[in-house]
């Protein structure tokens, strides 16, 4: 019987990351759930995944702004499960401000968490994947990895950087049965986004449907949110045998945003 694959999903206690962790658990993978906070609720998420999907799942704390934590996350996973077969670099934060007013500490944090962490986890995982005879690296980028929006200089820069990292890694590991690809979601309906809608309704004096269509989804031609399940299903596909020859590219899940 083939041993289950082990998947690390960074930033996976909520939203897109949690959905990806659950999707890989449904495929029978061992799961490493991660965030920086290390609370009983964080550990409970891993326990619930283990119980629901009948897999091994653990929570491992790591601050993605710290290089040593990023690399230790991979090392601890290999120590516990014996391998790292799937690495999903999902952790990210956001801040919105004009360039001239953008706080330096916010820029540094966004670049560290959204971009540099992926370098460190990837660098730590590749030797393990080579030793195992293959692996999958999936970077959660964004439509902002392909196009820009005003007032998001750090986020856009980080996500464009993720695209470059994805391509470079793919070329370096192409002969090792390791693939590296990116997913570029558009506007995803997460709890964080859902919580913003009432404020937007008040600000624009609009009903919910109008705010969603004309304000939040202005650039998304379908006028529908991407779901976390759709992003997760794309990640599962990229880790499947069917995607073995998909390497160094991206899959846009954005309702047509970047077709414009």
CATH (domain of 12) = 3.40.50.720
**Residue 256 CA: distances (Å) to CA of 8, 35, 184, 188, 224:** 29, 31, 11, 13, 10
Q: What's the confidence (pLDDT) of residue 215? A: 87
Q: In terms of domains, do 213 and 242 share one? A: no
Q: In terms of domains, do 204 and 158 share one? A: no
Say which of 53, 59, 155, 187 is annotated catalytic: 155
Q: What's the confidence (pLDDT) of residue 1? A: 64
Residue 120 is assigned to a structural domain of this protein: yes
Q: What's the confidence (pLDDT) of residue 117? A: 98
Q: What's the confidence (pLDDT) of residue 38? A: 96
pLDDT tens across the length of the chain (260 residues): 678 999 999 999 999 999 999 999 999 999 999 999 999 999 999 999 999 999 999 999 999 999 999 999 999 999 999 999 999 999 999 988 999 999 999 999 999 999 999 999 999 999 999 999 999 999 999 999 999 999 999 999 999 999 999 999 999 999 999 999 999 999 998 887 888 899 889 988 999 999 999 989 999 999 999 999 999 999 999 999 999 999 999 999 999 999 99
Q: Dihedral, CA atoms, 4, 14, 139, 232, nearest 10 degrees?
A: 60
- How far is Cα 89 from Cα 141, in angstroms, rounded to an integer? 9
Q: What's the confidence (pLDDT) of residue 200? A: 86
Residue 260 is assigned to a structural domain of this protein: no
**Residue 67 CA: distances (Å) to CA of 39, 53, 121, 198:** 21, 32, 8, 38
- pTM exceeding 0.75: yes
In the annotation, is 151 catalytic? no
CB 41 within 8 A of CB 65: no
List Cβ neighbours of 107 (8 Å cut-off, separation of 6 or more). Answer: 153, 154
By residue range, what is the domain housing residue 47?
A: 6-187+226-254
Q: What angle do CA 136, 157, 116 make, to 5 degrees?
A: 50
Q: In terms of domains, do 231 and 181 share one? A: yes
Q: In terms of domains, do 10 and 104 share one? A: yes
Q: In terms of domains, do 116 and 221 share one? A: no
Give the number of domains in the chain.
2
Residue 259 is assigned to a structural domain of this protein: no
């Amino acid at each position: 019987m083939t041993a289950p694959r082990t998947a690390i999903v960074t930033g996976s206690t909520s939203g897109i990351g949690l959905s990806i962790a659950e999707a890989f658990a449904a495929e029978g993978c061992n799961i490493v759930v991660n965030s920086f906070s290390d609370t009983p609720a964080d550990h409970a998420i891993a326990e619930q995944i283990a119980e629901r999907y009948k897999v091994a799942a653990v929570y491992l704390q790591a601050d993605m702004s710290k290089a040593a934590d990023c690399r230790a996350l991979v090392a601890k996973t290999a120590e516990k499960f014996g391998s790292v077969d799937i690495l999903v670099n999902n952790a990210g934060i956001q801040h919105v401000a004009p360039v001239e007013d953008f706080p330096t500490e916010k820029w540094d944090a966004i670049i560290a968490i959204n971009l540099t962490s992926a370098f460190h986890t990837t660098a730590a995982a590749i030797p393990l994947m080579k030793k195992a005879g293959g692996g999958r690296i999936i970077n959660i980028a964004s439509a902002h990895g392909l196009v820009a929006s005003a007032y998001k200089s750090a986020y856009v820069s980080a996500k464009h950087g993720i695209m470059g990292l994805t391509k470079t890694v793919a070329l370096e590991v192409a002969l090792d049965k390791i693939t590296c690809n990116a997913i570029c979601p558009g506007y995803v309906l997460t709890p964080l986004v859902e919580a913003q809608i009432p404020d937007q309704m008040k600000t624009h004096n609009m009903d919910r449907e109008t705010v969603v269509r004309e304000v939040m989804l202005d650039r998304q031609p379908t006028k529908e949110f991407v779901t976390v399940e759709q992003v997760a299903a794309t990640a599962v596909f990229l880790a499947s045998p069917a995607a073995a020859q998909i390497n160094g590219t991206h899959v846009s899940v954005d309702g047509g945003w970047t077709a414009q």
